[in-house]
Chain A
Amino acid sequence: MIKFELIKSINDLNQRGLLLGSKWSSEQLNGLSPKILNQVCDPEEEKKQFDFNSNNIESSSPPIGSNEHLKYLLAKSYFDLKEYRRCYDVLVNCKYQLNIFLRSYSLFLALEKRKEEDIIEQQNQKQQQQAQQQQAQQQAQQQAQGQDLTNPDNKNSTNNNNNKFNNARQVLIESVHKYPCNWSAWCDLATICSDSADIVMQLSLPNHFMKDFFLAHFKLELQQNNESLQIYQSLVKTFSNSTYILAQTAIANYNLRAYDVGEEIFERLIELEPSRLENIDIYSNILYVRDKKASLSMLAHKAMKIEKYCPETCCIIGNYYSLKLEHDKAIMYFQRALNLNDRYLSAWTLIGHEFLEIKNVSAAINAYRKAVDINPRVLQSLVWSRSNLSTIKTTTLLFILL
């Protein structure tokens, strides 16, 4: 049952260009324990499952060979090459939900991209952006007839930017009820709910294995690590080979400061996936804390070979130089990580630590402030890590941030 859901979700999410979601689904599919993979479903149940979904899907995706379908193919290829506006233009006057979704999503992405590029230039185009986004939202609301499973997801993304969190939350929950296997939606829900933990409990979430994943992910963000670990332990029974769960448990252990356990789990993770860079920067943090120069050096060299221009690699190399006490180079690499991804949280905190090491307190304050902007909960971990500092300046610094 899980197997089929996941397979379908991979397909659907791919069609709609939600790549992260489909990557997550395929990872979990491969991580299913062999017993479940080999389970033979009753053919009747299979049919039921397919029938239920196909009713919804058929109305939303154009029949193969029709004009709409051809347009969809063209638009998708533009989307894959990241030519979002072009994709938007192709899909004019479409009727099928799939195309409508793709159109709105590509517009959204185009605007986001523009916004980020302009932030660097720091011109006063923010107002223009907002106006354009409102326009997009209106368009989306007009066109959407709400049957498409993932369309609500799109609405919420635009809602995000306008800080209408409640609205977005409702929409996301609706989306998640209708189509649980959309990890992108769950992720966004987690980021929206980040300020208030209690609200999550009040939400009515569907009873599905995805809910467990979401809760565990959410609790991990809130630093409720033990509970998160418990949920992951129960999930591991079905998804025994899932590297995602392994990585998350490692992160939980890191948060709990059980560094040796975390290190072990990360080593196992690297054995299973030698070219993985996602979350490996946390492994480099662990090695930094445990002062393991040789392992960190080897990790840094390996990361360079795998992918040089990727924020995780830059963080790893920054950690390496920091351990070697070459703080200038470390700062350079953390800067590079930030250039590659402006909102990469750990890069901000780590660069803050580095500035502190070279006693550039104002820059450190700036960096920490930026980090807190992105995710207010980072403050807790900061307090933990700097609790052993005795200088008055640093304590005052923390109070400033609060």
Chain B
Amino acid sequence: MATSIFEQSPPTLIFNSTTIEDQLKCKIDSSVLTHSYTSAIFFADKLLNLVPLNSKKYIENLYILCNALYCDKQYQRSSFLIQKYLNQRNLKHQGEDEALIILKLKYLSAKCKIETNEFDQCLQILDNNHNNTDNNNEDGSIINNTNNNINNSNINDNLDDYDDYDEENYTGKDLLKFYVNMNKSNTDNKNDENINNNNNNSKNNKEILIIKSNIALIKGKCFENMDNLKKAKFWYIKALLLDYNCYEAFESLTKSHLLTFQEEIQLLKKLNFQADDIWLKEIYALSLKKYDNPNFTSHYNYIELYDNSLNNNDNNNNNNNSTNTSTKTNNSNNSLLKINDIRNKLINCNDILTMISEYYFYKQQFQESYSITKKILKEDKYYNNSTCIMVLISSLFELQLTNELYYTCHQLIDSFSQNSSISWYGIACYYQLIQNSDLTQKFFTKATTLNSRIGAFWLGFGHFFATKGEHDQAMAAYRTSSRLLTGCHLPLLCIGMELIRVHNLNLASQYILQAKDICPYDPMTFNELGIIEYKNSQFEEAIKLFEMALEISKIKNNNNNQLNYSFNSNGNINNNNRFKLNNNEKKKSMVMMSYMESWEPTVYNLAHCYRKLRRYDLALHYYNMSLSLIPNNPSTFTALGFCYHLQGSFDEAIDYYHQSLSIRDDTFTNVLLHKALSLSILNYD
């Protein structure tokens, strides 16, 4: 006789509700841990229906369910459920714990909206948060701790109002000052609470702070995707000020160059790192812009460490690190050792190696940056760091290794099938390198269509148009990139260069001066300004500017050399430092060794200026210098010949003209040659 399953159970089936709830919670936890989200959702759903609506437990269970839904990528459903609940519920009677969990729910709902790219709805949800708390305050229903929390969020509201009006009057400094005050008030309140309350509440406060920081981060993301970069900047900075551990905000700020270098340094100063997190501060410092002020030394720790590891010079390593850290931290010996340890271990971390390679790239040591990034990608084939891949592609481009670039791009396309816009950019760079302009254009369009928010792509596109001579399209591309890379001076500089090319000198100088304001330490800016002065026939000014450009490039180069000197005792580089004490002439000739060939145009321009001022000896000196930097350049030969021509030594002039013509046949040089020949014949009469 078949018995049904249920007959065997005892007659009174009593389930203790709390034990069931606990069991379910355990099941859900374990399911989430093992990533079996379907089971988690199943259990969470049951859990939700076990408790009555409008009870405290209901909110918690709703949160658990929606969390599981988020993990399972059912974003629409999750945010729908949350919104339905929040709309039903009367939010006026908030208990102290409930405030936190309601905040969490809103945060979760906002995150879901971001995933489905509904940015305006996301902002609505997060703004509603503030509106409600505002109402609460007006009611005057004050419970001790939560009121303080709400007061904090009130101050946040005020800031929200601020970000809407009077944007033009702000510079980055003002914004940051404002935030500092807010942060101070936050910490004041926090201190009060900590004095008054027990542990539970301080934990809550921390959690609230983290959630608020994340909310600010989400807002920043929304604004960034809606193309409102000013507000995005505002919210990212706020997120960081609330919680400096929010690396995502920091990354968004630095990667897309939203801040200028000054703003970045200020931000870093304002963040109150605790003593245990100084290592984090160092890493943040390492991620800032590397092509700016050559005197900014605080990120040199890791780079020194890397240099030393290259040269296996361990003794120096320990000594120097300890001296550097002692100036920074005035703590006990224990923390010094810790930082050394951490640094030694983290130096092999891919992120830090990426930053070091970026540093070398901006120092124009492309071989080094290429070898580091190649090693990183070999070890971690799918390493998604866009900085790393960009440095790799750019180094290969600068080194003109077409074969490697070809193969690397193939590998990138294979590995990154989803976020592949960078791979297409790499392919565009490859075609540019072998000078196939149709395909270059095709792939640049593809890259920018796939991801139009990366300023670097537009910048590259602009360079391509500039090389082809298409002025309008180049300007459009540069303008787009300047809109996206707000803290970077390069787009403005490039716009200036294009304007110079079309002889619109006034406008060009305006743009370049703007670029100079943002980054006062780029030799290229001075070079361009010098060109403008030259075209305006202001040769003295031009000379000053070119010399300043060369000085800065020398400083940047020498900084590198000095590092090597103190930590390598590398023989030939010492020479530079020793000879500096001698007279100017020697200095100039020694200095010749330390210029890199990328600054040869500046030297060439300088020589032209001297020639125009009829100071032929200096002009010849600089022409010869430029010849030694880039040998066999027909323009330099012609220029040298012209110089001798003007001085009256026609034989040498003719010599140089012939040399130039043998490399490149040029009507200008031909004309000059004829003139020189006829004049020299006249002389022989």
Contacts and interface: CB of A to CB of B under 8 A. Distances in A.
A297 B403 CA distance: 9
Contacts of A295: 407
Contacts of A297: 406-407
B410 interface: yes
Contacts of B406: 294, 297-298, 301
A302 B406 CA distance: 12
A64 to B, nearest CB: 40
Contacts of B403: 298, 301-302, 305
B381 to A, nearest CB: 14
Interface in A273-310: 294-295, 297-298, 301-302, 305
Contacts of A305: 403
A294 B410 CA distance: 7
A297 B430 CA distance: 14
Contacts of A301: 402-403, 406
A305 B407 CA distance: 16
Interface string B404-418: 101100110000000
Interface string A122-153: 00000000000000000000000000000000
Nearest to B406: A298
Contacts of B404: 298
A101 B460 CA distance: 67
Contacts of A294: 406-407, 410-411
Specify the main secondary structure of chain B where it touches its partner: helix
Contacts of B411: 294
Interface string A67-107: 00000000000000000000000000000000000000000
A293 to B, nearest CB: 9
Interface in B484-523: none
Nearest to B411: A294
A305 B400 CA distance: 14
Contacts, number: 16
Interface string B614-629: 0000000000000000
A26 to B, nearest CB: 28
Nearest to A305: B403
Contacts of B410: 294
A295 B407 CA distance: 7
Nearest to A300: B403
A162 B406 CA distance: 52
A298 B404 CA distance: 7
Nearest to A297: B406
Interface string B14-38: 0000000000000000000000000
Interface string B287-329: 0000000000000000000000000000000000000000000
A274 to B, nearest CB: 12
Interface in B377-412: 402-404, 406-407, 410-411
Contacts of A298: 403-404, 406-407
Which of A294, A295, A297, A305 has the most chain B CB within a 10 Å cutoff? A294
A294 B404 CA distance: 11
Interface string B36-52: 00000000000000000
A302 B402 CA distance: 11
Which of B404, B410, B411 has the most chain A CB within a 10 Å cutoff? B410
Contacts of B402: 301
A295 B408 CA distance: 10
A297 B407 CA distance: 8
Nearest to A302: B403
Which of B402, B404, B407, B411 has the most chain A CB within a 10 Å cutoff? B407
Nearest to B413: A294
B68 to A, nearest CB: 41
B523 to A, nearest CB: 34
B378 to A, nearest CB: 10
Interface in B216-235: none
A260 B316 CA distance: 46
Contacts of A302: 403
A301 B402 CA distance: 10
Interface in B405-462: 406-407, 410-411
Nearest to A293: B410
A187 to B, nearest CB: 34
Contacts of B407: 294-295, 297-298
Interface string A313-353: 00000000000000000000000000000000000000000
B101 to A, nearest CB: 53
B424 to A, nearest CB: 16
B617 to A, nearest CB: 44
A301 B404 CA distance: 10
Nearest to B378: A271
A294 B415 CA distance: 14
A301 B411 CA distance: 17
A209 B28 CA distance: 65
Nearest to A271: B378
A295 B406 CA distance: 10
A301 B406 CA distance: 11
B153 to A, nearest CB: 55
B139 to A, nearest CB: 68
Interface in B542-569: none
B122 to A, nearest CB: 42
A401 B407 CA distance: 41
Interface in B464-501: none
Nearest to B409: A294
A305 B404 CA distance: 13
A292 to B, nearest CB: 9
Interface string B160-200: 00000000000000000000000000000000000000000
Nearest to A295: B407
A294 B423 CA distance: 15
Nearest to A294: B410
A298 B396 CA distance: 15
Nearest to A301: B403
A302 B404 CA distance: 9
A200 B410 CA distance: 48
Nearest to A298: B407
A391 B410 CA distance: 36
A142 to B, nearest CB: 57
A129 B410 CA distance: 55
B371 to A, nearest CB: 14
A234 B410 CA distance: 38
A80 B407 CA distance: 40
B422 to A, nearest CB: 17
B637 to A, nearest CB: 30
A67 to B, nearest CB: 48
Interface in B567-587: none
Nearest to B402: A301
B436 to A, nearest CB: 15
A7 B407 CA distance: 41
B42 to A, nearest CB: 43
A294 B411 CA distance: 9
A313 to B, nearest CB: 14
A297 B410 CA distance: 11
Interface in A213-236: none
A294 B407 CA distance: 6
A376 to B, nearest CB: 39
B434 to A, nearest CB: 11
A22 B406 CA distance: 38
A296 to B, nearest CB: 10
B209 to A, nearest CB: 50
A51 to B, nearest CB: 43
Interface in A107-125: none
15 contacts: A294-B406, A294-B407, A294-B410, A294-B411, A295-B407, A297-B406, A297-B407, A298-B403, A298-B404, A298-B407, A301-B402, A301-B403, A301-B406, A302-B403, A305-B403
Interface of B: 402-404, 406-407, 410-411
Top 4 A-B pairs, shortest CB-CB distance: A294-B410, A298-B407, A301-B403, A298-B403
Given A295-B407, A297-B406, 10 more contacts: A294-B410, A297-B407, A298-B403, A298-B404, A298-B406, A298-B407, A301-B402, A301-B403, A301-B406, A302-B403
